[in-house]
Amino acid sequence: MPSGNSHGSENTDIGIDSNLMIRIRFLNLFAVKSENILKPPDLNLFLLNSKPMPYPQYLKSFKFWSILIIVVIIIFYWNGRNENYDKYPPAEGPTATIFLIDGLDNEIFKEELEANKLPVIKDLIGKGLYVENGISSFPTMTGYGFYPFITGYDATRSGILGLRWFDRERTEGNLRNYVGRTHIHMNDDLTDSIQNYFELSGKYYTASVNTYMNKGVKHNEKTGWAHTTAKYEGKSFFRYLRAIPWLGKHIAKDHFEQESLSMEIALQQLQRNPKVHWVTFPSPDAYNHVFGTDDGYRQIIRHIDSLIGVYLMAVEQYGQTENRLIAVVSDHGISDVSRNVDFCGWAEKALNLKIERGKSVNVISSSLDEKLSELKDKDGYFVINGNLTAYLYLKDPTRPANKQWSYPLPPELITNYPVGDTFINLGNKISRLSGIELVAYKSANGEITLLQQGKKAVITSRDSNLIYIPVDGNPLDYGEDLLDKAFGRRVWLEQTAELEFPYAVPRLWDLLQSKGIGDIVMTSQKGYDLANDYEIFVGNYKGGHGGLRREIMTVPFIMFHPDIKAEKVCAMTNEDLGLRIGQYLGFR
């Protein structure tokens, strides 16, 4: 693979226009040093309540420098791999590029668009399809939420249930955690019954940058280390890396440099005319997690807009304009948080239940091999997704000891769970916990029970239509015209797209019908997350996603190709947009 850090002369040798590379580096330089709109915020604003730290002594040690040199050599060697992709012919006919801006806040996007801060995307909107309220998958998760765009099917049909879920059918590696080095298992766990657009491209060259939802892709690149150093810039030991003489700026990137690096790689891939080209910009999501939403978040979005502009210039230069579809999408919105729910601690104190939650990220090993037998002293597993949604998997104490984890909890036990000499209504107890917004579980009659702080409703199905029935209060706060009536999915989409819980009824229904789903699904209230002291390097995040509220569920979708007519649409699901992409490519 040509290195993402190649200099101009090397880029010319492999066929990349040096002017495009110069423009990328100019944008990056501008983003870092300008007093204008692309300047990132001062790191001191991030380090609230922190005191200046002395230059660490370990930077002076021989051992430290020896290890650092080895790490740098490995990084440069890995980035310098030169694989041969010539065996895959360039695409013929329709092609598609999907830009996914991870964690794009829809309201901020609209404000920036109105203020003319996103000129490239605004131009695409003016001549193509613009969906104002694109509906994300639920849970609203990275990776999992990519699936509909490359298949045209809802993410619940993918065979996985988020970035983390618990597979009861295994005897080891039950927690399917795709965060960190174990991301390689996501593609392995996908169903074989649906082929994605990489697989359907056949012999043609396909490529991706920064995604692990890419089964069948021919050329896969990730900027993992650059992304990590950018995400945790100013935190833990990362704050010292850029201060290392000569090497600092090469081994530790900020968000602007990391996204520019991603685009350099994407341009190198583009010259081969990929049938399907996927490019993820992960920085908005990463920035929100660690720092929350402030002006720095907006600066990153503007920088990404500029990078997309460079890519479009390259599309024209390489003569791919007539065939290439361009989509700009997101997997979920974001929500700032300032309080954290310690669910496992609460469950032990209030319910006398011992709940495991596993690690947030697998840094050392790429194996998922924890033995199920190691959970013999636990009562349940709390599986976090996006930090604002979680699945609770419970042992069935009425079964033999060797089978207690193997099957979903019978619905009657959710409301009558044996703990010692007493029985607990788990749904009611959890729904009244401070910081919990919605609790959902499948009832004995097949309905979905939905609870919110003492309120109760059910969701049921009739002739493929879905009905939302308030029982005691109205957890989703829908109007009278949506209550106790059977509607198809199109009506639920059109009637709820701009409400507080858009398209929640179909999304909840589909998730709770999925094989492998937790016994109880819960989301957090605004301002809360469900991951107290969970995250590596920072402990608690300042922003998250995963839930069903409007600011998390709705995102913009933009699509352009030469034959499309300008159109503005109020709402569309991500699987419907994915279907349109597949139809353009001739796959669907």
Give the Cα separation of 407 and 418 in Å (integer): 17
Q: Does residue 419 have a pLDDT over 80?
A: yes
User: Tell me, what's the pLDDT at 11?
Assistant: 36
pLDDT in tens, 141-168: 999 999 999 999 999 999 999 999 999 9
Nearest-CA neighbor of 108 among 295, 266, 272, 314?
295
pLDDT at 523: 98
Q: Which of 133, 108, 132 is nearest to 297 (CA)?
A: 108
Average pLDDT over residues 100-110: 98
Give yes or no for a contact between 119 and 307, defined as CB atoms under 8 angstroms apart: no
Q: Which residue has the tokens 């720092």?
A: 291
Three-state DSSP class for residue 288:
helix
Could you give the residue ranges of the DSSP H alpha helices within 102-176? 106-114, 119-127
Q: Could you tell me where the DSSP H helices lie in 318-447?
A: 343-346, 411-414, 426-431
The sign of the dihedral angle between the CA atoms of 509, 514, 520, 526 is negative
- CA atoms of 14 and 4, how far apart (whole Å): 12
Q: For residue range 60-103, list pLDDT tens digits in order.
A: 555 555 565 566 555 555 554 557 899 999 999 999 999 999 99
C-alpha span between 226 and 250 (Å, rounded): 9
Residue 393: predicted pLDDT: 98
> Across all residues in the chain, what is the average pLDDT?
89
Show the tokens assigned to 549. 């509220």
Cβ neighbours for 568, distance < 8 A, ≥ 6 positions apart: 125, 130, 132
Q: Write the pLDDT tens digit of every residue in 12-37.
A: 333 445 556 555 655 554 444 333 33
- The overall longest dimension of the chain from CA atoms, in Å, is 76
pLDDT reported for residue 26: 53
Over the stretch 229-263, which tens digit does the pLDDT of each residue have?
999 988 877 778 888 888 888 888 999 999 999 99
Position 42 pLDDT exceeds 90: no
pLDDT tens profile 424-453: 999 999 999 999 999 999 998 999 999 999
What is the reported pTM? Answer: 0.89
Q: What distance in Å separates the CA atoms of residue 588 and residue 260, rounded to the nearest whole number?
A: 33
The answer to whether 486 touches 461, Cβ cutoff 8 Å, is no
Report the alpha-carbon distance of residue 392 to residue 351 in Å, rounded.
14
Q: How confident is the model at residue 467 (pLDDT cuts 50, 70, 90)?
A: very high
pLDDT digits (tens, 9 = 90+) for 276-306: 999 999 999 999 999 999 999 999 999 999 9
Q: How far is CA 53 from CA 104, 234, 244, in A?
A: 34, 12, 15
What integer is the mean pLDDT of 203-214?
A: 97
Q: Tell me, what's the pLDDT at 236?
A: 76
